[in-house]
Amino acid sequence: MTDFLKNSGWLLDLLDIGLVAFIIYRIIVLLKGTLAPRIIIGLVITLICYVVSQFAGFKTFIWILKNFLGSLILFLAIIFQHDIRRALFAFSRNRPGEEQAEEEVHGVIEELADAVEILSNKMIGALVVIEQSITLNHFLAVGTEIDAKVTSELITSIFLPYSPIHDGAVIVQRGKLTKAGCFLPLTQNPEISKTLGTRHRAAIGLTEMVDAVVLVVSEETGQISVAVGGRIIRDVEPSALRKLMKRLLDSRWLT
């Protein structure tokens, strides 16, 4: 057995390298589209400068870098506060209930898709948030309590220009329309296109923090977009919207 382990040392090294490569890859995927890569590059450059300064004997510069690196944990906590909050709130799962009938799930998706299609055709802006496993209660500002069945008629009436709660987001939780007129956190990602308006930025901002799916209708173009995971899929055809929602929405989202 000992001889086997000695002879298979290269295999363990290969496995070790593969594991490290996989972890680095997953970190890159997780941080893609955020400020994190730039911050990490900046920290690496700072560490290199610190090492060079040690050899060169730059005492003042070393003192500055030491104080900066001493506050690094606090600095990272401030920069990545939204990611930390997202990780913490991930533990705040909705309590599982009885599995809803598949017909009911499809029924709610159809009502949402119908409402979005109607609003798109009428060039009326809309923002519909569908909660999944992470609760939205910590991220919603203002809002009017509704607690009603999800119907295309109700959703379209809420977003009509003369409605007092049209300027905000509609929230769907556990298969019910629970709130309307809610304000969402805007994304702080500088790489987001300048052409995107407040609704789209709010949709992206919320999905950077939670696993919700957000439907957006542009008031200017009537274009339908879907935001999930901090990214946005633009110009979604109504026929493709239903398939996309069925694929994105967790099977437990109605419980």
Is residue 249 within 8 A of residue 132, CB to CB? The reply is yes
Place of tokens 């598949």: 102
Q: How far is Cα 171 from Cα 177, in angstroms, rounded to an integer? A: 6
Q: How far is Cα 206 from Cα 229, in angstroms, rounded to an integer? A: 9
Is residue 192 within 8 A of residue 208, CB to CB? The reply is no
Q: Provide the pLDDT for residue 122.
A: 92
Place of tokens 């901002």: 205
* Close Cβ partners of 13 (under 8 Å, ≥ 6 residues apart): none
Is residue 112 within 8 A of residue 150, CB to CB? The reply is yes
Structure-model confidence comparison of residues 20 and 127, the more confident one: 127
Pairing of strands 169-173, 126-130: parallel
Band the pLDDT of 225: cuts 50, 70, 90: very high
Is residue 189 within 8 A of residue 216, CB to CB? The reply is no
Looking at the DSSP assignment, which residues form a beta bridge with residue 148? 177
Q: Provide the pLDDT for residue 93.
A: 47
> Which ranges constitute the DSSP H helices of 57-151?
59-70, 72-79, 81-89, 102-121
Mean pLDDT of the chain: 77
Helix 59-70 and helix 36-56, axial crossing angle in degrees, nearest 10: 140
Give the pLDDT confidence of 29-41 residue by residue, as tens digits: 555 545 556 666 7
Picking from 164, 201, 171, 207, the residue whose alpha carbon sits closest to that of residue 186 is 201
Band the pLDDT of 100: cuts 50, 70, 90: very low
Tell me the percentage of the chain whose pLDDT exceeds 70.
67
Is 3.40.920.10 the CATH classification of the domain at 102-248? no
Domain boundaries in the chain?
2-89, 102-248
Give the pLDDT confidence of 47-80 residue by residue, as tens digits: 777 777 777 777 776 777 677 666 666 766 665 6
Least confident of 39-43, 45-49, 120-124, 250-254: 250-254
Band the pLDDT of 16: cuts 50, 70, 90: low
Burial of 46-55, coded b for 16+ CB within 10 Å and e otherwise, reads eeeebeebee
Q: Provide the pLDDT for residue 82.
A: 57
Conformational region of residue 196, where left means phi above 0, alpha means psi within -120 to 50, and beta covers everything else: beta
Least confident of 96-100, 130-134, 159-163, 169-173: 96-100
Q: What is the dihedral of CA 206, 211, 215, 221, to 10 degrees?
A: 50
Q: What is the mean pLDDT of residues 98-109?
A: 66
pTM strictly above 0.75: no
Q: How far is Cα 97 from Cα 46, in angstroms, rounded to an integer? A: 50
